[in-house]
A and B are shown apart, each in its own frame.
Chain A
């Protein structure tokens, strides 16, 4: 074959590919498009991932499937826990595909990247996941809402409730990176308010397998409470080893961040008696139970608070689009802020000017295997922390959008 011929063929092939590429820009008359950007295969796929996509589908279905006279479209993407891939997908969604709202956003680096992007492009991002309080402090956005929980609500909720009961001496075992330190700092701030003190702490690297030295130090410290600030495999390994050392017998174990799927993974034998905070529990009341059973039929596991959050955020967003009669981000955000969030998960939720959605948080004690009556029957809801107390006070927020 002549080289020129080859060149021509290559050129034709390139043109063929090029003409197949999408070129049309999205306009205001296109259907409402919702993007679920999540971790489909990595460490967060259990708590968000495909379950979050399903939850958003359920929200669209429950809303009636269409708004502004057109069916609502859902797209999903796997950010693979890489901020650049997440940012690339979101950019393409905004620039080319005409996505109007992005939700889920597990992984703090991805959430921060997408929120910055959405702010520039006047698109809405509803973060139903991720701990980082940065999203509603320095990096806050007029179009971004942190929906379900943050490090402050989880750790301060648990620490405050347990300290109020009179536990004075605390020991922290934390993962040695921003996530763990952030949980620990927030808990300590609350402890100071109740006159409780930290008598010791030890840290471990990410993906640790042996926690015996941390646990033995904690056991010997004479602390009333051992607070654990890590997640995923680290959390479940630590809890299993703590059960072997019989730590829960004389000292109280609290998990500053845990999901119902974590408890499922580590087993009630290892988790029983420990205290934690969640935004949602599937068996809290008849409504949440009914919805969760629908979810269970599709996914084979009970929903986490992240997945419930994706559902709630999507529903509230669609209602606001309908009420505003437009997809315009400013109008929709205004409607979302004006309307309190009352759905099957949260009563009297409110979006603050720094982007925090305040709502009641649940203080939870994990059941023992004897108390558990059915599969996934893991929690006793022992208290409700009202929304005004559960989140970082507006006066402490570093968000530049707050008018002072």
Chain B
């Protein structure tokens, strides 16, 4: 299991490579820190939130091989919990986000235990059904405000000191949250736990025969993924100051899978690139109307038929080939 197909190697192969990798990291970090002065911060924050959401889906899809069509319920569920805690109960922003994450984690564990009893297409169907159940709960519940959603959520002061009303301050907070979430995902993937997940994906009976409690690992991966999706959803509430039905709807679950696939499933940076592509399309092409959906469809077809590894997966594969490893 030294080489996981499609995944970035955990450790650089040589020292010269290590230097250039370090350079890339520094360049990316500098670009991210300078970005809000060049691009519109709200748009960047949206990309970051969706990057984290796609990372959560990627953790499950790319490494554990579980395709969930119900992840909007953790994303949107946490959004509602966070918005409610912030607006109606008056909790601090950080406490509201944690409440959202806690909700998704617990909810993810319960629904995860239920859905991992099946695999493949049946697993996808069970998650889809659970997602729809949750959607209609949100549509009817008085706490969520039905199709009006929870609006005008105050951003407030972070840790009682930092004013999040300032878009640039909020951007750095969202950047930190997303960075933390992605680091958590990266650590999980590049750990014995992640290796076992990949083993389960590649050959489940063999993993069982090796003595691993497969169901336990799957449930844990599911919970972790749900918690990260919840972190993304709760953070997004502070950015847009609202939680709405869009966040829990089935198309949202599909969109995030699309982001993961376009960017590159099973790669660390793939979800980020995928989220950036899809979100900026939705924003910059908002004038083309229904053509947007057609363009998204064409991009998806192009991805699956021309470069199945996604944008980042394809670049990583080219670089590896160039290096001759």
The answer, yes or no, to whether B46 is at the interface (CB within 8 Å) is yes
Q: How far is the CB of A320 from chain B (nearest CB, A)?
A: 26
Q: How far is the CB of B22 from chain A (nearest CB, A)?
A: 11
For residue A81, which residues in chain B have a CB less than 8 angstroms away from its CB? 246
For residue B244, which residues in chain A have a CB less than 8 angstroms away from its CB? 82-84, 109, 113
The answer, yes or no, to whether A96 is at the interface (CB within 8 Å) is yes
The answer, yes or no, to whether A125 is at the interface (CB within 8 Å) is no
Closest to B249 in A: A82
Give the contact-size bracket for chain A: 35 or more
Q: Which of A90-114 contact B (CB under 8 A)?
A: 91-92, 95-96, 108-109, 112-113
Give the contact-size bracket for chain B: 35 or more
For residue B40, which residues in chain A have a CB less than 8 angstroms away from its CB? 21, 92, 95-96
Q: How far is the CA of A117 from the CA of B40 in the complex (A)?
A: 16
Q: Which of A1-47 contact B (CB under 8 A)?
A: 1, 3-4, 7, 10-11, 14, 18, 21, 23, 40-41, 45
A116 and B152 in contact (CB under 8 A), knowing A109-B244, A109-B245? yes
The answer, yes or no, to whether B282 is at the interface (CB within 8 Å) is yes
For residue B149, which residues in chain A have a CB less than 8 angstroms away from its CB? 83, 109, 112-113
**Across the interface, do B286 and A77 meet the contact criterion of CB distance under 8 Å?**
yes
**Across the interface, do A89 and B246 meet the contact criterion of CB distance under 8 Å?**
no
Closest to A2 in B: B20
**Across the interface, do B140 and A113 meet the contact criterion of CB distance under 8 Å?**
no
Closest to B79 in A: A84
Closest to B30 in A: A11
**Across the interface, do A41 and B289 meet the contact criterion of CB distance under 8 Å?**
yes
**Across the interface, do A88 and B43 meet the contact criterion of CB distance under 8 Å?**
yes
Q: Which of A33-89 contact B (CB under 8 A)?
A: 40-41, 45, 50, 76-85, 87-89
Can you list, as one digit per residue, whether each of A177-201 has a CB less than 8 Å from chain B (1) or not (0)?
Answer: 1110000000000000000000000
Chain A facing B: main interface SS? helix
Closest to A45 in B: B289
Closest to A11 in B: B27
**Across the interface, do B246 and A88 meet the contact criterion of CB distance under 8 Å?**
no
Q: How far is the CB of A223 from chain B (nearest CB, A)?
A: 26
Q: Which of B122-155 contact A (CB under 8 A)?
A: 136, 139-140, 145-149, 151-152
Q: How far is the CA of A132 from the CA of B242 in the complex (A)?
A: 17
For residue A88, which residues in chain B have a CB less than 8 angstroms away from its CB? 42-43, 46, 240, 283
The answer, yes or no, to whether A377 is at the interface (CB within 8 Å) is no
A112 and B20 in contact (CB under 8 A), knowing A7-B27, A77-B286, A92-B42? no
Footprint of B on A, CB under 8 Å? 1, 3-4, 7, 10-11, 14, 18, 21, 23, 40-41, 45, 50, 76-85, 87-89, 91-92, 95-96, 108-109, 112-113, 116-117, 132, 134, 139, 176-179, 205-206
Return 9 A-B CB contacts under 8 Å, by A number.
A3-B24, A11-B27, A87-B240, A88-B43, A109-B245, A113-B240, A139-B151, A176-B140, A178-B146
Could you list 6 further interchain pairs (A-B, Cβ under 8 angstroms) beyond the known A41-B293, A78-B288, A179-B147? A84-B242, A87-B240, A92-B43, A109-B246, A134-B148, A177-B139
